[in-house]
Amino acid sequence: MAKATKQKSTVKKTADKIAKSMGIMEIIQKKPESANIMMEYGLHCIGCMASQFESLEQGCLAHGIAEDKIDEMIDRINRLK
């Protein structure tokens, strides 16, 4: 029985994980504190119309944020509780 509980816990953690392919607003809805992290990296278009349909990666690349910084940002967002 404990094993089944552990599996459910892992599934939930994976489902909560943020990916660069996710929409900017989707991420902010899941983890509101992520907006501050995005702005620290230069992604200031949180309220922009494009944030409604752009993925995090698309928005970052449009603002000249390097791939390694995108990965770093996602890692920080995923560490949020």
Is the model more confident about 12 or about 39?
Answer: 39
pLDDT above 50 (res 10): no
Q: Are 37 and 76 in contact (CB under 8 A)?
A: yes
Asked if residues 74 and 34 have their Cβ atoms less than 8 Å apart, the reply is: no
How does residue 46 score in pLDDT terms, banded at 50, 70 and 90?
A: confident
pLDDT at 8 over 60: no
Specify the pLDDT at position 15. Answer: 64
Q: Are 55 and 18 in contact (CB under 8 A)?
A: no
Query: What pLDDT score does 9 carry?
Result: 46
Query: Which of residues 52 and 23 earns the better pLDDT score?
Result: 23
The chain-wide mean pLDDT, for the chain, equals: 85
Indicate the domain borders of the chain: 23-78
Q: Do 74 and 38 meet the contact criterion of CB atoms below 8 Å apart? A: no
